[in-house]
Copies of this chain bind each other. A is one copy, B any other.
């Protein structure tokens, strides 16, 4: 096979993670090893938006030492976006512009790092370029703390978020038990449709320092039943800690803040507003006459690179580097996915998933990994998740604080 010569562009999309920049480092470092095939390596500002606006940087001009620091730098170094492309059958304006930009800059390798929506974007672009007879290798690079990408054992970003969530849960558990009086703790964890990350509180539970109850979007939520669960534990222990996924909802689709605000007019004499954690904590307090803390892990859970999983960092880098290798070998319109190897030791291998099979699907926790009462996880979940949080980050620190990568971001396009 003749090598496809041309330039490469890489973009980051969707919510950032602690390790999305590790994948960027993997793509960049591997791509820069092949200057005879890949002439220029570009980084798109704000994902596909940067491509549409011809706003991208020449990564070859970055200091290699700074690229290495990407492994300890959270968030999206290039900027991200939540831009959704139209169906090309209805409106192909963006696609035409992308093709125009790709022709103008001779882009033959397009890598897009993101979640479900981004894989859909990738797939649509790959098909459009193919239809137009423009040869370009399009590769989806997986990432999401939600861990809900279809077809892959797990997603880069999840292990680090899970390690932060489990560690923090253990610490908060200890803190919440110091006084000789009752306390209700409600921890709210990200995850709109899949409970993988809220379930990481079960890793803390397995150590003896975790929540009594865990509620996930995979099971429909019943406020009365939860109150029964909580009351029983509180009566016994004078203490209760619960973890809820932000996406928890009733069978008829009402989320916790909405649900509680309806019943809370009675409880408080006014409507309750706010996130699930505080609303639920206040509600339980009013019922059990106990002090409470509602704790939302907010942006911390996806940006805590100081407690990232060492394994997650390595794997995020690897999937970036291997994406380049796959594209050089001819792959296109695929996402690189992880498969767990057989055997008692944790090992993974990567394989290629057609983007059409990944796009717009969501992987949720198997029902059989959730206990019968719907308020906890089984040992299968622990066995699945525990290997993903192993290893400590080797973050460079200066004066006790992280030294993040500083890119020069030399403009290589013609933004206007």
Interface residues of A (CB under 8 A from B): 12, 16, 45-46, 49, 73-76, 79-82, 163, 166-168, 170-172, 174-180, 203-204, 207, 209, 270-275, 278, 293, 295-296, 298-300, 302-307, 309, 386, 389-392, 397, 399-402, 404
Contacts and interface: CB of A to CB of B under 8 A. Distances in A.
Q: Which 8 A-B pairs have the closest CB atoms?
A: A75-B174, A171-B303, A175-B303, A80-B178, A389-B400, A390-B400, A76-B178, A75-B175
Contact of A175 (B166, B299, B391): B299
24 contacts: A74-B171, A76-B178, A79-B180, A80-B178, A81-B180, A82-B179, A163-B400, A166-B401, A170-B402, A170-B404, A171-B300, A171-B303, A171-B305, A172-B299, A174-B303, A175-B299, A175-B303, A270-B271, A273-B274, A295-B299, A300-B300, A307-B307, A386-B399, A391-B400
A386 to B, nearest CB: 6
Which of A176, A178, A298, A404 has the most chain B CB within a 10 Å cutoff? A178
Contacts of A298: 293, 295
A95 B45 CA distance: 68
A80 to B, nearest CB: 4
Contacts of A180: 45-46, 49, 79, 81
A401 B304 CA distance: 15
A163 B306 CA distance: 11
Given A75-B177, A163-B400, A295-B298, 14 more contacts: A16-B174, A16-B178, A45-B180, A74-B171, A74-B174, A79-B179, A81-B179, A82-B179, A166-B401, A171-B303, A171-B306, A175-B302, A386-B399, A389-B401
